[in-house]
């Protein structure tokens, strides 16, 4: 039996949520270590010893090996070859995996960055600073985010596939869903005007049932069973 891996996370972090869900789905033995970003817990000297970049998510394996960045963690877990259920979400077939990797590489500099930046300017920074963001800056980020969401709707979901890279749920869907849900905390509904994206999100929730899926709700993140959504 595999020994537990320490997962350092904050549920306000989209990649943290994706890994959190994946660890559940793949039944990876986990010692969960919450890190309260809002309290600056990641900026302590103690946490810097765990992750020199002082970010979440990150892991510490049972032998003391430390690693950050969610995609690097995913691939490390896969190469350990200790978690057979992980193959259900990160396929072994070379071409199928290449399509998943294609999405993960695309989303990092498009969907992820623009959803995150819109969320920060529209919701997070005003709360942290007590001052509203410049409207033109919020609008700029909204436009970039909507372009990425439209690419999901028209290109990634433009085929007859049920999910982003095929007919089965993969890590591509988990990472994307966590990013796309984030702007809802700022009052933006990514489903509006995007029927394919709406259906896809519903399919993701159905496919992850009964594992809890994480839904952003101000002012905190809640864990709720999929069947209640």
Domain count, the chain: 2
Statement to judge: residues 104 and 197 lie in one domain: yes
pLDDT at 209: 82
| Mean of pLDDT values over 198-209 | 93
Which CATH number does the domain housing residue 192 bear? 1.20.1050.10
pLDDT of residue 106: 98
Q: What are the pLDDT digits (tens) for 91-139?
A: 999 999 999 999 999 999 999 999 999 999 999 999 889 999 999 999 9
- pLDDT of 219 > 90? The answer is no
| pLDDT for residue 6 is more than 70 | yes
What pLDDT, on a 0 to 100 scale, did the predictor assign at position 226? 37
The pLDDT tens digits of the residues spanning 133-172 come to 999 999 999 999 999 999 999 999 987 789 999 999 999 9
Which residues constitute the domain of residue 198? 94-228
Task: Please state the rounded mean pLDDT for residues 65-71.
Answer: 98
Of residues 215 and 204, the one with the higher pLDDT is 204
The DSSP string of 77-92 is: HHHHT--GGGGGTS-S
Same domain, 73 and 36: yes
Q: Of 68, 88, 108, which residue sits at a domain end?
A: 88
CA 193 and chain centroid, separation? 23
Judgement on whether residues 149 and 201 belong to the same structural domain of the protein: yes
Residue range 44-62, pLDDT digits in tens: 999 999 999 999 999 999 9
């Amino acid at each position: 039996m595999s020994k537990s891996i320490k997962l350092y996370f904050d549920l306000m972090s989209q990649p943290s949520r994706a890994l959190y869900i994946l660890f559940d789905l793949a039944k990876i033995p986990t010692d969960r270590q919450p890190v309260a970003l809002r309290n600056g817990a990641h900026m302590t000297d103690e946490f810097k010893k765990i992750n020199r970049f002082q970010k979440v998510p990150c892991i510490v394996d049972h032998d003391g090996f430390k690693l950050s960045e969610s995609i690097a963690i995913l691939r490390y877990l896969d190469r350990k070859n200790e978690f057979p259920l992980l193959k259900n979400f990160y396929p072994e077939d070379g071409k199928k995996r290449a399509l998943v990797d294609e999405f993960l590489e695309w989303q990092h500099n498009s969907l992820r960055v623009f959803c995150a930046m819109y969320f920060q300017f529209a919701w997070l920074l005003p709360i942290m600073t007590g001052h509203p963001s410049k409207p033109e800056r919020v609008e700029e980020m909204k436009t970039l985010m909507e372009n990425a969401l439209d690419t999901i709707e028209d290109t990634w979901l433009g085929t007859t596939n049920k999910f982003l890279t095929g007919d089965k749920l993969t890590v591509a869907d988990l990472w994307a869903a966590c990013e796309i849900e984030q702007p809802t905390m700022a009052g933006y509904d990514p489903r509006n005007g995007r029927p394919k994206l709406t259906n896809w999100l519903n399919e993701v929730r159905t496919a992850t049932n009964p594992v809890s899926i994480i839904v952003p709700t101000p002012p905190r993140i809640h864990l709720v069973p999929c069947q209640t959504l």
